[in-house]
Structure 1
């Protein structure tokens, strides 16, 4: 097993329990991964899955999604004048059929005009299989390194973050900074729930006995409203002249306003009131995904 980041061959490593060693990896020079969409993550995952199955090259859409994720996730400037680049190195995807999908991407990032400025940037991106659900839980990037003191392999946790949104990208890891790390041992995983909260609002009758004063006030308001409606109706009839259609329309409006006023009055003196109550239910779909699939390596 070679202890190098630049190795491009797949190395089989023994399964080790994560947790014995946790290292704080130095992030690549990148901002947050805001802006990566669920569609980009799924396009990248499905594209890699298709080419692994069919032994083909990445499609234009797959390449575009991968580069967008790498560029945004690694904080590479998209301003052409900055001459920054993100050269795709490798990608691993999670297995299919779960309620979340994920991909581990390694890119070489740097500035074209500065020799020796490049470094590795590894990020993991996850998305819900159903766009109406949101991610919750934990994402991790882990690996295996050779401990020269104990002269044995040991697991390392390179990144741990809380999942959120319908798409999530971890902050970057620069694996070059972890001594004796087996490059091809690096994997990404996510455990949690794809969740959807549905809120239902219903109207409920609640007992509300009215006082004599409240009923009298409601009656006065109703009488005033009916008087106003009748006055408006009379004006409409005058304006209609000899037009039967206009008179019919005016009468229709009058009846509707009169019925509304009456209904409002009845409600105002009723022994109940209508209140709206909201109730929420949350559907959780558990998932546990990891990237043990054969990595796809890019020609650069």
Structure 2
């Protein structure tokens, strides 16, 4: 017999990165012996990195197993018809102690053809940024493929890139094809399609501890770059207390900003699972049968079968995500 579904937490999958730092451990309390933790994969169905439940009756079971067992009850009817036994989103916290490589992601069509994968549309919410920290998003001028290739060859790519200074709460929508990089000193939450396909075009001439440079993907990247994209990547959103303020809505996910200082009765009318990422404070999420606390740096999945629930907090800031 199937267990009754409840708000589900997963064990974070922590990734050691050449550019990673200590903030995921120090600020978000991630438990790790890795020296440079760059990413915490909170909910993942990427092959080889499947999330494992960490709470309740389903503890120890994989997200893949939940999907094959609960199907539409877990992710919603329309999502199950579209995605089957694949979870559509990859949810992460990222700490960049150093600049990430300059990169971009292919669209669904290219990713399917070349990698048998989804594309990788994503968004960022800045949780903390050191003084003068930047994100690189898009170009600072009109760029042709010829101009791009010349700067790439001359190792002057940064001259044509757009650098934005950022602070807590700044939010960016990164469409496929847009050149981007997370700058040193930035801690952020990332919501994206389930894909680990990245085309790295420049890596600051960095080498690993064996003296090797990381692989670049410039041939693949060239026909994936959106040279004519508009500068519409900065997200402007409301911050009304105790209500969901939509930040980003695209075919792949909808994300809202939710700041809570009371008890909220919530209804799921979207035929989708709902994910809450706690980016500040703490909250209690309660259903008829189950209650779970979520603190800064934690993520929780509400299965689609849960239609009514309550969120109680004195001070929580949550990102609310569904498909």
TM-score (normalised: structure 1): 0.22
- Higher Cα radius of gyration: 1
* Larger helix proportion of the pair: 1
Superposition TM-score, scaled by structure 2 size: 0.21
